[in-house]
Amino acid sequence: GVAFEHLLVSSPKPGVGLVQLNRPKALNALCTPLILELNSALRTFQSDKTIGAIVLTGSEKAFAAGADIKEMKDLSFADAYGNDFIENWSDLVTFLKKPLITAVNGYALGGGCELALMGDIMYCSNTAVFGQPEIKLGVIPGAGGSQRLTKAIGKSRAMECILTGENILAKQAGEWGLVAKVFESPQECVDGAVKMAEKIAGFSQIAVKAAKEVVNKSQDLGIREGVEFERRVFHGLFGSRDQKVGMGAFAAKQKPEWTHE
């Protein structure tokens, strides 16, 4: 594979792409070169037909401690606005049609929390610390935190987190449904994420893509339009080969051999 300065990229199981943020001296602070590498790694997995799902994780100590404060501290308004600072972060989610699981151990602060929230499924271990400490730096979340965290845990809890800069610990994250599962250790968290990614990668990529698309629509549409959208996409799948494969295999009591077509 391609060598990156701030990432480790591998495929630990069939169909699974794994990206580990690897900038240990700065607790995986998300400097621009790291974000560009992450974009590139995710794009490579996106276009790799053998990859069905992707896991993004950090180290045991930190998923990511935020945007790089040292890189940002001297930016002027004109620099930030003129160059649309961190706009390239939004590429990470909008182009990615394959499922992304974020596996959080240790700190996921500021932009790190926001990056974790970009996962289609979030997992963490009991060491995870989520937070939006931007208020302490004289700013606010800038990579979707005010929107995605609020959708995930509700307004009052999100307001409390964003206005006070107080962290959300793993147990709370599990109880509030911020994450789908809380694992007992960082290793179990990454292994568990890879296992679920492998499971997803075992299905028709066409159906998986459609499933991700319709669930994401629920974030933007009202229930009526959302349900209609879902039904149209469902209808569309009767044009896929894998619908015939899947239902045919069920009727014949066989294992489906997906064609991803």
Binding site for ligand CAA (CB under 6 A): 26-27, 29, 65-70, 86, 107, 109-111, 114, 133-134, 137, 141-143, 145
Distance CA 211, CA 80 (A): 36
State how far the Cα of 127 lies from the Cα of 110, in Å rounded to an integer: 17
- Please confirm, yes or no, whether 145 is among the known catalytic residues: no
CB of 239 to ligand CAA, least distance (A): 41
Token pair belonging to 33: 């070169």
Q: One of 58, 111, 145, 192 is an active-site residue; which one?
A: 111
Q: What is the CA radius of gyration of the chain?
A: 19
Residue 42's closest CA among 88, 95, 85? 95
Q: Is 60 a catalytic residue?
A: no
Looking at 67, 173, 193, 201, which residue is catalytic? Answer: 67
Q: Which residues contact 235 (CB under 8 A, 6 or more apart)?
A: none
Supply the minimum distance, in Å, between the C-beta of residue 138 and ligand CAA. 10
Q: Tokens 């007992």 sit at which residue? A: 184
Residue of 14, 90, 22 lying closest to 56 (CA atoms): 22
Minimum CB separation of residue 22 from ligand CAA in Å reads 14
Closest to 204 (Cα-Cα) out of 61, 77, 98, 75: 98
Kindly tell me which of 99 and 142 has the beta carbon lying closer to ligand CAA: 142
173 carries an active-site annotation: no
Q: 37 an active-site residue? A: no
Taking the complex as a whole, the smallest distance from the CB of residue 146 to ligand CAA amounts, in Å, to: 9
Q: Which residue is catalytic, options 114, 131, 145, 158?
A: 114
Q: Which is nearer to ligand CAA, 32 or 126 (CB)?
A: 32
Catalytic positions are 67, 111, 114, 134
